[in-house]
Every structure is written in C-alpha cells, then in structure tokens.
C-alpha cells in the first residue's frame, strides 16, 4: 500500500475513533437530517426502524410544524430519540451553529439540492460525514458567476442541465484531509443505479460496452397534471436539452426528441424519453471503458402535453419577472399551484421499475444483463406514508448512511456511489425494502 493510502486509512480510523461516544456501541450514531418532505419522510421512517445504528436523529427543516408532526407520529414506535429544529439550510452560520450544538456524527441531506454546497461546507467545518440524494444546482440559475460557468461548460462539454458535480467534487481533498466521508447522490437514480454498475462490473462483466438506465413510473395519482417529486427540480430537468455519453464525449439532443417504448416487468409497455441525468457524468469518468451511457425516463402523453403548454407560455422559466410591482419566478409560482408531491401517497396506485441494462463481455463472450427494482406505490405508502418515488429515494439514503456509520464505506473524501463496494449496500437494499431483480436475457433498447 502507498504512503498516501496508509495515511488515508489512518485518518479514517482516527476520526472514526473520535466519534465513538459510547464504549462497546460503535455503530450507534447521532444524525442530523435536513428536510421533511416526501423523500425525507421515507428516510426518517427507515432510520427509526434501525435504532441499533440511528440512536438519535434531529429532523431539521424550515417548516418546524412538519418536523414536529413527524416526530409525534414516529416517536412512540421507535427507540430512536427524535428531536426537531427549524433551520434555513441555505444559511451557513445557522447550520454550523446547529451542528456545533447537536454534535452529529453525520448529516443526511434530503432537502433541496440548492443547499448542497452550504451543507458540505458546514460538515467540513464541523468534521461531520455528509450524504445527499441529488447533484448540486443553484436556485438562481441567472446569477452572473454561475451563468458564466454554465455557458462555458455548455460550450466545452455539450450538456445543458443546470446540475452537475464539479462544485461538489471540489471538496474531495478538503474532506479527505478532514477524515470525513462525503457521499454524493445516494438516492435511486442517482445512487442505486451507480451501485448496480459497480456490482455488474464486479460480478457479471470483464468489460462493459453499453449502459442504458431506465426509470419507469407506472403510477397513477388521478390528477390531470402533477409531478412526483419537487416540481421545480422535475420540470427544470425534463424541459432541458437531453444528452448522452458516447465515445468519451457528450452528445446533445433536443428535449424529448429521442423516444422509445419498453415493456417493463411489473408495469407494462410505456413510452420513455432520453434525458440528461447526473449519474452519467460520474459514470463516464469512473468507467471510461463504457462506450455509451444513456438515461431514459417514462412519461405519459398528458404529462408531456401539459408541460409543453406551460413551457410555451413561459411558466417553466427560472427568470424572475415583475408582476404588479412584485418580482416572481414563473416556475416557482407554478410549483405553489401544483399538488405537493408529499400528498400524493394515498391516491397513487401502480408500480415503479428502475434499473440498468448492460452489454459487454465475460470470459471473452458477449453478454447482456439487466438489474432492476420494482416497487409498489401503495405498499410504500402503507409503510411510510409516501408514494414509491419518494420511497425509492429515501430508502437508499438511509442505507447509504448506514454504510458510512457502520464503517463499510469509510474512505475519507467525496465520492459518488459507484466508487464504494456495492455488495453491502445492495444487501441492505434487498433487506430493507428495495429487492433486486435480474435478467440475463433482457430486451435491449435500440
């Protein structure tokens, strides 16, 4: 092992020992959880099911009443000690003050990705492990400094989403030197899909040639138009130009211009469209052997018709306008009008199917492989009070935090999920609500 490698292992051990507050109870931890929406609700419920790891949690959000209501619901059912706090997750000094007072071992961020950088900086200052579920993007995409970076990146790289990882990757060395672990994008996609890639490379392939990530939501909530997660993030994502990775470079396509149909296990035949998605960026970097990486997501025609109409009249714009002397951002105003995704649970029926289809070689022979999960909306709601879109993000966040707190993922620095050992993580997913399915003869996407 190199001198640098020995130093990293020493730091991991040293800071791990500092966090052992109770002799003989090494995995029992105090965790600060940011957020109290649908995804966070699932993550919190799942944490409280495992007090042997999550001994204490603090639920912190800008809406204290939601935190208190969730605590009141869960505290009688768990040995985990739950506290709550009102917090502005975008205020660095406020977050640092809370962390110095609460003294958590780890911060799990299941709120808005706008706050990723603030929360990472707070974790760095307080030497606390960090995990989030989505890549950073700014709330104000027209802020001059970001716009300059964004315009240059679009020209240089060729993808046009507002989210990407370099701002968070910039913390790698700092986290490494502080002896803390940062896990980026530990939901399902991103997150589990990257663990599936690491698993496939470790167990199924010598070389991977192509990867298609398929995200299917076959649920029906009964509304003419609603989004299954934060409307502002969702609508920004799907209305942006698409992109895929092929031959070590980005290829840009017009929004929703590449359409395929696929017959999903447990769901049926659905229309799906190529999008840019954040895990493509890290997978292309960490698996340069993969010749092509694409991401597809299913959408119904009604959703697309509504979205295109809203876009045509300017309601998806992130640029502020003046209305009767008041400055409003159209997409944020639209978010206020649409149903809250956290309320969709009781009325959503059907299933999700999310996974990865690979082609490649094993022992010199061509091979294809499909690894995926199917989740039921009503089963998710009965267990956690949230629909399966939230469930498939909140469960991996809990499992990822469990990996860090129990020492299974313990390399200091900032990492995407595919950089860790996938086996204990996938074992946890299988055990705690997201069982894996496999096919060795899947239909490929053309």
Cα separation, 213 vs 189, whole angstroms: 9
pLDDT tens string 50-101: 999 999 999 999 999 999 999 999 999 999 999 999 999 999 999 999 999 9
The CA–CA distances, whole Å, from 327 to 169, 320, 322, 332, 333 equal 34, 6, 4, 11, 11
pLDDT band of 276, cuts 50, 70, 90? very high
Instruction: Note the CATH number of domain 192-375.
Output: 3.30.360.10
Number of other residues whose CB lies within 10 A of the CB of residue 386: 28
Cα–Cα nearest to 52, from 79, 14, 16: 79
DSSP assignment string, 166-213:
HHHHTTHHHHHHHT-EEEE--BTTTBHHHHHHHHHHHHT-SEEEEEEE
Most distant CA atoms of the chain, gap in Å: 68
pLDDT band of 428, cuts 50, 70, 90? very high
pLDDT at 214: 98
pLDDT tens string 32-43: 999 999 999 999
Q: What is the DSSP letter of 413?
A: E
| Rounded percentage of the chain residues whose pLDDT exceeds 70 | 94
Q: Which residue has the tokens 């990472």?
A: 120
91 close to 64: Cβ distance less than 8 angstroms = no
- Spell out the residues 6+ positions from residue 302 whose beta carbon is closer than 8 angstroms to its own: 224, 225
Instruction: Indicate the range of 25-39, 187-201, 350-364, 405-419 predicted with least confidence.
Output: 25-39
Cα separation, 130 vs 109, whole angstroms: 8
Q: Which helix (H) or strand (E) holds 378?
A: helix 377-384
60 close to 84: Cβ distance less than 8 angstroms = yes
pLDDT tens string 383-413: 999 999 999 999 999 999 999 999 999 999 9
Q: Is 314 exposed, middle or buried (0-12, 13-18, 19+ CB in 10 A)?
A: exposed
Burial call 189-201: b when 16+ CB within 10 Å, e when fewer: bbbbbbbbbbbbb
Both structure tokens of 49: 């099911």
Q: Which helix (H) or strand (E) holds 328?
A: strand 326-328
Number of other residues whose CB lies within 10 A of the CB of residue 426: 20
What ranges do the domains of the chain cover?
192-375
The mean pLDDT value for 189-214 works out to 98
Beta strands in 81-175 (DSSP E): 81-86, 106-109, 129-132
Cα separation, 279 vs 284, whole angstroms: 8
Question: Which three-class secondary structure state does DSSP give residue 301?
Answer: helix
Q: Which residue has the tokens 């009102």?
A: 86
Cα separation, 147 vs 49, whole angstroms: 43
Q: Which residue has the tokens 């493509």?
A: 280
Q: Which helix (H) or strand (E) holds 97?
A: helix 92-102
Question: What pTM value is reported for the model?
Answer: 0.90
Q: Which residue has the tokens 């956290």?
A: 342
Count of CA atoms in the C-beta half-sphere (13 A) of 228: 30
- Looking at every residue in the chain, the average pLDDT score rounds to 91
pLDDT at 27: 67
358 close to 377: Cβ distance less than 8 angstroms = no
Instruction: Indicate the range of 133-137, 287-291, 327-331, 385-389 predicted with least confidence.
Output: 327-331
398 close to 46: Cβ distance less than 8 angstroms = yes
Question: Which three-class secondary structure state does DSSP give residue 54?
Answer: strand
Beta bridge partners, 429, equal none
């Amino acid at each position: 092992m190199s001198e640098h490698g020995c130093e990293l292992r020493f730091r991991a051990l040293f800071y791990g020992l500092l966090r052992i507050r109770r002799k003989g109870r090494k995995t029992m931890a105090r965790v600060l959880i940011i957020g109290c929406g649908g995804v966070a609700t699932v993550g919190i419920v799942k944490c409280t099911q495992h007090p042997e790891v999550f001994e204490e949690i603090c639920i912190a959000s800008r809406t204290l009443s939601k935190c208190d209501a969730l605590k009141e619901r869960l505290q009688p059912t768990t040995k985990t000690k739950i506290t709550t706090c009102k917090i502005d997750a975008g205020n660095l000094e406020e977050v640092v003050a809370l962390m110095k007072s609460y003294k958590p071992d780890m911060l799990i961020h299941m709120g808005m990705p706008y706050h990723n950088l603030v929360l990472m900086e707070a974790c760095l200052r307080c030497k606390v492990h960090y995990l989030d579920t989505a890549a950073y993007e700014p709330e104000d995409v027209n802020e001059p400094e970001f716009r300059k970076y964004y315009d240059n990146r679009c020209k240089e790289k060729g993808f046009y989403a507002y989210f990407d990882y370099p701002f968070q990757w910039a913390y790698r060395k700092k986290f490494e030197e502080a002896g803390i672990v940062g896990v980026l994008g530990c939901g399902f996609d991103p997150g589990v899909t990257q663990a599936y890639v690491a698993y496939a490379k470790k167990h199924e392939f010598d070389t991977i040639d192509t990867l298609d990530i398929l995200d299917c939501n076959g649920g029906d909530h009964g509304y003419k138009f609603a989004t299954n997660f934060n409307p502002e993030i969702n609508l920004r994502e799907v209305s942006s130009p698409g992109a895929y990775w092929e031959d070590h470079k980005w290829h840009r396509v017009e929004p929703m211009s590449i359409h395929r149909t696929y017959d999903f296990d447990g769901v049926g035949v659905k229309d799906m469209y190529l999008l840019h998605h954040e895990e493509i960026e890290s997978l292309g970097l960490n698996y340069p052997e993969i010749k092509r990486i694409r991401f597809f997501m299913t959408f119904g025609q009604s959703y697309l018709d509504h979205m295109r109409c809203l876009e045509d009249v300017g309601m998806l714009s992130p640029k502020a306008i003046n209305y009767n002397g008041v400055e409003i951002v159209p997409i944020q105003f639209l978010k206020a009008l649409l149903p809250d995704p956290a309320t969709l649970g009781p009325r959503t029926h059907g299933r999700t199917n999310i996974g990865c289809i690979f082609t490649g070689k094993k022992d010199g022979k061509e091979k294809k492989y499909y690894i995926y999960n199917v989740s039921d909306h009503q089963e998710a709601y009965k267990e956690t009070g949230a629909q399966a879109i939230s469930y498939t993000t909140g469960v991996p966040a809990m499992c990822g935090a469990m990996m860090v707190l129990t020492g299974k993922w313990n390399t200091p620095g900032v990492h995407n999920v595919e950089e860790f050992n996938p086996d204990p993580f996938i074992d946890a997913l299988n055990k705690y609500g997201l069982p894996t399915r496999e096919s060795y003869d899947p239909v490929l996407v053309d």
